[in-house]
């Protein structure tokens, strides 16, 4: 499978925007703690990955895995300039990204059926014309 990097970038942006919106929602309530941020990240991350899983036509799980790695790296960028940078916090942040990826991917699998091999060949032959 060839990786379509523009689609990966698009989906990383989609999931990151969902996570940022969740941060704004939690911040606007005035109750900011780790629990509310975690629940917000898990819920809206799941929605973002579900949307990305529904949009992808190639190997859904491989694509979502690459998107999750991208989201994890992007979300860890704000931690880099801080001096007491905790490697443990950085590594544990993987679960905040990969749990929604699995749940959102499973939801998207249930909502949208992956195209069969014949459908992909028809689509490729139509685009070649």
Q: What is the pTM of this model?
A: 0.80
Closest alpha carbon to 72 in 89, 43, 92, 94: 94
Query: Tens digit of pLDDT for each residue in 50-108?
Result: 999 999 877 899 999 999 999 998 887 776 666 566 777 777 788 889 999 999 999 99
121: left (phi over 0), alpha (psi -120 to 50) or beta: alpha
Query: Tens digit of pLDDT for each residue in 98-120?
Result: 999 999 999 999 998 866 655 55
Confidence at 11, pLDDT banded by 50, 70, 90? very high
Q: What are phi and psi of 60, to 5 degrees?
A: -60, -45
Average predicted confidence (pLDDT) for the chain: 83
In this prediction, residue 8 carries a pLDDT of 94
Q: Residue 18 above 80 pLDDT?
A: yes
Closest alpha carbon to 9 in 61, 54, 60, 52: 52
Neighbouring CB atoms inside 10 A of 97's CB total: 24
The domain spans of the chain are: 5-128
**Section 17-29 average pLDDT:** 86
Two structure tokens written together for 48 = 């973002």
**Section 9-29 average pLDDT:** 90
């Amino acid at each position: 499978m060839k990786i379509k990097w523009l689609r990966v970038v698009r989906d990383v942006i989609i999931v990151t925007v969902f996570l940022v919106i969740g941060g704004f929602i939690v911040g606007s309530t005035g109750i900011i703690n780790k629990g509310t941020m975690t629940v917000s990240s898990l819920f809206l991350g799941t929605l973002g990955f579900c949307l990305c899983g529904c949009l992808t036509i190639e190997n859904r799980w491989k694509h979502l895995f690459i998107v999750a790695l991208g989201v994890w790296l992007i979300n860890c960028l704000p931690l880099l300039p801080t001096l007491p940078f905790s490697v443990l916090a950085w590594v544990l942040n993987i679960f905040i990204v990969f749990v929604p990826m699995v749940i959102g991917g499973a939801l998207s699998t249930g909502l949208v059926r992956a195209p069969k091999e014949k459908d992909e060949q028809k689509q490729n032959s139509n685009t070649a014309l």
